[in-house]
Amino acid sequence: MPQMTITLNRKDNTASEAHIRDHTVTMDRPTDKGGENQGPMGGETLLAALGGCFMSNLVAAAQGRDIDLGPVDVAITATMGGNPAVFERIDMTVTGGPDVRDLDKLVTIAERGCIASNTLKQGLPVNIKAQQG
């Protein structure tokens, strides 16, 4: 079964760095939540990852059909609630230029191929354990 692994390391006082292939993403809390605002929060990064996964599938769907996608915007809004806090709902709106052919079809294809949205929709076990280093 294929796997994906990333690592995170504490950086400075409140931030962490995620190491993903050859890339580094800094995450932190905003100052009003006790952080130093060196990057987005983890929940924001989760939403960005969802959007990035969807967008890459949208681009691939258009390219595979020789459709000029042109400029496209994806807006993601998450509604939070509960105790502990969770995302109770995530809404994504895809806006393409007026000349984009078959945008609805491309959105459907991208949604079906997006690992992040497929995972969030079905839910999954998340196992967290401590280990002394």
Query: Residue 37 phi/psi, 5° resolution?
Result: 55, 45
Do residues 29 and 38 make contact, with C-beta atoms less than 8 angstroms apart? no
Residue 83: predicted pLDDT:
96
User: Can you list the positions of beta strands (E) in 5-131?
Assistant: 7-11, 15-20, 23-27, 72-81, 86-96
Task: Specify the amino acid at residue 67.
Answer: I
- Provide the angle, in degrees to the nearest 10, between the axes of the packed helices 115-122 and 42-64: 130
Q: How confident is the model at residue 107 (pLDDT cuts 50, 70, 90)?
A: very high
Domain range list for the chain: 1-39, 41-122
Question: In sequence order, what are the residues at sequence separation of 6 or more whose Cβ sits closer than 8 angstroms to the Cβ of residue 128?
Answer: none
* Predicted TM-score of the model (pTM): 0.91
Angle at 38 between CA 50 and CA 26, to 5 degrees: 50
Query: What pLDDT digit, counting tens, does each position of 50-78 carry?
Result: 999 999 999 999 999 999 999 999 999 99
Residue 93: predicted pLDDT:
97
| DSSP H/E element including 81 | strand 72-81
Q: What is the CATH number of domain 41-122?
A: 3.30.300.20
What is the mean pLDDT of the segment spanning 108-122?
96
Query: What pLDDT digit, counting tens, does each position of 24-55 carry?
Result: 999 999 999 999 999 999 999 999 999 999 99
Query: What pLDDT digit, counting tens, does each position of 9-25 carry?
Result: 999 999 999 999 999 99
